[in-house]
Amino acid sequence: MSDEPHPIILTIRSVTKRFAVGDDKVEALAPVDLTIPQGEFICLIGASGCGKSTLLRIIAGFEEPTTGQALIHGRAITGPGSDRGMVFQDYALFPWMTVRENISFGPRQRKLAHGEIQRITNEFVKMVGLERFADRYPSQLSGGMKQRVAIARVLANDANVLLMDEPFGALDALTREQLQHELLQIWSRTGVTAIFVTHSVEEAVLLADRVLVMSAGPGRIESDFRIDLARPRDVSSPEFNALRRGIARRLTSHLAPSRAPA
Amino acid sequence: MNDHVTTLSEGADRGAPEAAAALRRRNRQRLEMLRALALGVGFPVLLVLIWDRSVAITGTRLIPSPYQVAVMMYDFSFGGVYDDAFSGTILIHIWKSVQRVYGGFFLAALIGIPLGMMIGRIKILRQLLDPTISLLRPIPVTAWLPLSMIFFGLGPNAAIFLVFLGAFYPILLNTIFGVRSVDPRLFEAASMLGCSGTAMFREIILPASLPAIFNGLRIAHGFAWILIVVGEMTGVPTGLGSVVMDGRTLSRTDLVITGMIVIGACGFVTDRIIVAISNRLLKWSPQHLE
């Protein structure tokens, strides 16, 4: 990796999103502008209703922006695509497929050669350390294992943008810590661009190159923090805590006014 | 039994308590199975006993005793007792009924599952067909009997049509329900992994709604056997339903009951087969295992 700035992979250009809720229109996103260089780890953080999940779903292609444009590699996003992989909080694994079959789903859809599918599947089963569980069904796995499968599933499909919507929110503290660690390893090894939605300031500061604080009513990006701490990061260091406090302050300062009109 | 196990575990090395526990668990399981078998078989035996005593005490001649039915069953199966039109004909009747039951059942599945999947997914189709289905569904199958005889004439096709009608709605409705209740996240997950169009039906919608589809198939399969008597009222000469109808016409209650028992047994055995297939296909879904 060189010191030269990485090429821009994602561009969000004055994207807004309005939802119709009954007769009312809810403005989920005010004009949002954002550029994301390749390989960056971004955390989106904010109170519920700040539009962070909406923004993620627009990038995934599950939602269309009301106005504005979302571009990947300079081309407009028109729908879901295998270049962007979403990891859901509730895993969304295919319950009738084994771990191996879930991971090989993307390659199988792309109709790769049988041997190639085998090779890719084995590689990613190994990457997430589930060799012993490869023939189990999702119902026979713990939450942490399920989320490992979900990550492997999108990476096996050559996704170069990893979209994660509070992926570790449903996990216990120990498992979450371990998965954060593994995610960072996978990220640095594969060079994917990661966009990670979270509620936790600590998680954001631990993982991200850049923390985007969003605020509600209508949803917008309030501030953009660079986290220049070296990895692995020490959560008890003064620098870490200073950043955490700074971001937490930004976060809460926008909570009060955003609640008032609602 | 327990005493023996305890003394063994006390004197032996570290592996022994575990082995003893496993042995105890196995014994408990075996006891549990034995009890289930005793209860499950004991109750019908008790019913037959009550039947036998009731016939003997009341001295009725309208209902045969279990023994008379057993003799009839033997004659129906192997012949050599009465040597009449029904002696030793059981396999022919079963085979004819099986053809009609499964003709109607598979036809219902063949149309009901794809149609249900499309109705569940395609809104226009739902708007087009839902009112009609809701209107036709409450009509009892027996009410279709006269029309089906006009449509298909006297013969097996009318019977197949009636079985089809009875089996069709449970399959259709359960399939629609199954498709409608697929987690929308799975569609999102599949589409981001490059799945679209007809592949979505094959790869996601069908397997995800399979538990509901199998519920429908099992209910429909039960109906299909129930309806075989109605279906074979349409004037077919062979089949278990026609045996029951003939028994009625001839006032041979032993024949009627024999036919009833054979229909029940066929339905029971084939239901177990469906459950076995469903357990195999749905082994990923622990709550659907029996």
Residue B84, domain member (yes or no): no
Residue B1: pLDDT band by 50, 70, 90 thresholds? very low
Residue A20 is predicted with a pLDDT of: 84
Subunit contact A96:B285, Cβ cutoff 8 A: yes
Subunit contact A80:B204, Cβ cutoff 8 A: no
Q: Say whether both B59 and B94 belong to one domain.
A: no
Task: Flag whether pLDDT at A10 surpasses 70.
Answer: yes
Residue A109 is predicted with a pLDDT of: 92
Q: Say whether both A75 and A102 belong to one domain.
A: no
Q: Say whether both A73 and A109 belong to one domain.
A: no
Q: Please tell me the distance in Å from A179's CA to the nearest CA on chain B.
A: 21
Q: Crossing angle of helices B156-180/B90-121, nearest 10°?
A: 40
Residue A257 is predicted with a pLDDT of: 52
Residue B6 is predicted with a pLDDT of: 42
Q: Say whether both A3 and A79 belong to one domain.
A: yes
- In the listed set A139, A159, A179, which residue is the last one of a domain according to the structure? A159
CA atoms lying within 13 Å on the CB side of residue B274: 20
Residue B108, domain member (yes or no): yes
Residue A117, domain member (yes or no): yes
Residue A184, domain member (yes or no): no
Residue A158 is predicted with a pLDDT of: 86
Q: Say whether both B9 and B119 belong to one domain.
A: no
- Chain A residues touching residue B286 (CB < 8 angstroms): 139
d(CA B187, CA A46): 27
Residue A232 is predicted with a pLDDT of: 87
Subunit contact A105:B183, Cβ cutoff 8 A: no
Total tally of structural domains belonging to chain A: 2
Which of A60, A94, A110 lies nearest to residue B192, judging by beta carbons? A60
Mean pLDDT in residue range B204-215? 94
Cβ(A11)–Cβ(A33) under 8 Å? no
Mean pLDDT in residue range A10-18? 92
Residue A4: pLDDT band by 50, 70, 90 thresholds? low
Q: How far is CA B285 from the centre of its chain?
A: 21
Task: Flag whether pLDDT at B290 surpasses 60.
Answer: no
Cβ(A210)–Cβ(A193) under 8 Å? no
Residue A29, domain member (yes or no): yes
Q: Say whether both A260 and A219 belong to one domain.
A: yes
Residue B114 is predicted with a pLDDT of: 94
Residue A247 is predicted with a pLDDT of: 92
Q: What is the value of pTM for the model shown?
A: 0.82
Choose the mutation target among B193, B195, B210, B278 for the interface with A, i.e. most A CBs under 10 Å: B193
Q: Say whether both B8 and B131 belong to one domain.
A: no
Total tally of structural domains belonging to chain B: 2
Q: Say whether both B157 and B226 belong to one domain.
A: yes
Residue A148, domain member (yes or no): yes
Q: Say whether both A67 and A6 belong to one domain.
A: yes
Mean pLDDT in residue range A31-36? 92
Residue B283, domain member (yes or no): yes
Residue B74, domain member (yes or no): no
Q: Say whether both A77 and A14 belong to one domain.
A: yes
DSSP letter (8 states) at residue A114? H
Q: Say whether both B56 and B101 belong to one domain.
A: no
Q: Please tell me the distance in Å from B198's CA to the nearest CA on chain A.
A: 12
Q: Please tell me the distance in Å from B226's CA to the nearest CA on chain A.
A: 33
Q: Write out the two tokens for B288.
A: 């659907």
Subunit contact A94:B285, Cβ cutoff 8 A: no
Residue B82, domain member (yes or no): no
Q: Write out the two tokens for B156.
A: 């097996």
Residue B9 is predicted with a pLDDT of: 42
User: Rounded mean pLDDT of chain A?
Assistant: 90
Chains A, B: CB contacts under 8 A, how many?
70
Which of A62, A109, A137 lies nearest to residue B193, judging by beta carbons? A109
Q: Say whether both B283 and B143 belong to one domain.
A: yes
B71 at A interface, C-beta within 8 A = no
Q: What is the pLDDT of residues B224-233, one digit of tens each?
A: 999 988 888 7
Residue B15 is predicted with a pLDDT of: 61
- Domain that residue A113 falls in: 88-159
A158 at B interface, C-beta within 8 A = no
A54: which residues sit within 8 A by CB, 6+ positions away? A17, A28, A29, A63, A219
Task: Flag whether pLDDT at B194 surpasses 70.
Answer: yes
Residue A186 is predicted with a pLDDT of: 92
Q: Say whether both A74 and A117 belong to one domain.
A: no
Q: Write out the two tokens for B20.
A: 């003893």
Whichever domain contains A67, its CATH number is: 3.40.50.300
Residue B75, domain member (yes or no): no
Q: Say whether both A152 and A202 belong to one domain.
A: no
Cβ(B97)–Cβ(B239) under 8 Å? yes
- Domain that residue B270 falls in: 90-288
Task: Flag whether pLDDT at A262 surpasses 60.
Answer: no
Subunit contact A157:B193, Cβ cutoff 8 A: yes
Q: Say whether both B49 and B139 belong to one domain.
A: no
Residue B77, domain member (yes or no): no
Subunit contact A88:B208, Cβ cutoff 8 A: no
Task: Flag whether pLDDT at A130 surpasses 90.
Answer: yes
Q: What is the pLDDT of residues A205-230, one digit of tens each?
A: 999 999 999 988 788 898 899 999 98
Q: Say whether both A77 and A193 belong to one domain.
A: yes
A5 at B interface, C-beta within 8 A = no
Which of B189, B194, B284 lies nearest to residue A96, judging by beta carbons? B284
Q: Say whether both B181 and B264 belong to one domain.
A: yes
Q: Say whether both B106 and B213 belong to one domain.
A: yes
User: Rounded mean pLDDT of chain B?
Assistant: 89
Residue B196: pLDDT band by 50, 70, 90 thresholds? confident
Residue A1 is predicted with a pLDDT of: 46
Which of A80, A81, A105 lies nearest to residue B188, judging by beta carbons? A80
Torsional sign, CA A28, A33, A35, A41:
negative
Q: Please tell me the distance in Å from B280's CA to the nearest CA on chain A.
A: 12
Task: Flag whether pLDDT at A165 surpasses 90.
Answer: yes
Which of A84, A95, A109 lies nearest to residue B285, judging by beta carbons? A95
B202 at A interface, C-beta within 8 A = no
A233: which residues sit within 8 A by CB, 6+ positions away? A205, A206, A240
SS (H, E, C) B66-135: HHHHHHHHHHHHHCCCCCCCCCCCHHHHHHHHHHHHHHHHHHHHHHHHHHHHHHHHCHHHHHHHHHHHHH
| ipTM of the complex in this document | 0.88
Mean pLDDT in residue range A110-117? 93
Task: Flag whether pLDDT at A138 surpasses 90.
Answer: yes
Q: Say whether both B195 and B263 belong to one domain.
A: yes
Subunit contact A139:B283, Cβ cutoff 8 A: no
Q: Say whether both A72 and A1 belong to one domain.
A: yes
B186 at A interface, C-beta within 8 A = yes
Residue B14 is predicted with a pLDDT of: 54
Q: Say whether both A41 and A96 belong to one domain.
A: no
Whichever domain contains B195, its CATH number is: 1.10.3720.10
B7 vs A157 pLDDT, higher one: A157
Cβ(A82)–Cβ(A250) under 8 Å? no
Beta bridge partners of A12: A34, A70
Residue B74 is predicted with a pLDDT of: 95
- Chain A residues touching residue B199 (CB < 8 angstroms): 109
Mean pLDDT in residue range A14-32? 87
Residue B68, domain member (yes or no): no
- Chain B residues touching residue A79 (CB < 8 angstroms): 191
